[in-house]
Amino acid sequence: MTTAPARLWAYTLRLPNDPRAPRVARGTVRGVLPLYGLEALADSAELLTSELVTNAVRHTRGPAALRLKGDGERMRIGVSDSDPHIPPPFDGSPGPCAGATVPGVPEGGRGLTLVRLCAHEWGGFPLGDPALGTQGKFLWCDLTLRREDFGIAA
């Protein structure tokens, strides 16, 4: 028996640099996931979306964009913004450990570590061309319904 290929989907939401943007982004995630049978990912997806969008709003001056895409078992959450700096651990360097008390690190600096710990995969890459006056970054993370991807027995 041949199974049908998973239905691919994608949404993009442009967000102004506004403190209400994370709430709008969370609402979008909450509304989209049931359409594709991914309700089980809703809580984690909302948390990770909120952290990525909050990072963009707090640390950049320009607008951001939320990109959601997926299939029947997996989804990617991505946020682009106008700042070219890719923070750890998204730049490939080790980031701080969750729950670690690091002298001089403010409480607000742990959101991307949450993303790293809750997502199946994550990463970041630069956008644009500084020579042309365009620059930015794209941070992303993946969530999956398959429990074995996390080393958890079904």
d(CA 147, CA 88) in angstroms, rounded, equals 26
Would you say residue 137 lies in a domain? yes
pLDDT digits (tens, 9 = 90+) for 53-95: 999 999 998 899 999 999 888 999 999 999 999 988 888 776 5
Q: Residue 20's domain is classified under what CATH number?
A: 3.30.565.10
Number of domains, the chain: 1
Would you say residue 55 lies in a domain? yes
Map tokens 């070219």 to a residue: 84
Could you tell me the pLDDT band of residue 17, with boundaries at 50, 70 and 90? very high
Q: What's the predicted TM-score (pTM) here?
A: 0.81
Would you say residue 103 lies in a domain? no
Would you say residue 105 lies in a domain? no
Domain span including residue 65: 9-94+111-146
pLDDT greater than 80 at residue 106: no
Would you say residue 1 lies in a domain? no
**Is the Cα dihedral 63, 106, 52, 129 positive or negative?**
positive
Q: Are 143 and 120 in contact (CB under 8 A)?
A: yes
Beta strand ranges found along 32-133 (DSSP E): 64-70, 74-81, 121-129
Could you tell me the pLDDT band of residue 47, with boundaries at 50, 70 and 90? very high
Would you say residue 106 lies in a domain? no
Collapse the DSSP code of 91 into the 3-class scheme (helix H, G, I; strand E, B; otherwise coil) and give the result.
Answer: coil
Quote the pLDDT of residue 109.
60
Would you say residue 151 lies in a domain? no
pLDDT digits (tens, 9 = 90+) for 114-153: 888 889 999 999 998 877 777 899 999 999 987 544 444 3
Quote the pLDDT of residue 107.
57
Helices (H) and strands (E) in the chain, counts: 3, 5
Beta strand ranges found along 1-153 (DSSP E): 9-15, 64-70, 74-81, 121-129, 134-144
Residues 6+ apart with CB under 8 A from 19: 57
Would you say residue 152 lies in a domain? no
Beta bridge partners of 65: 14, 80
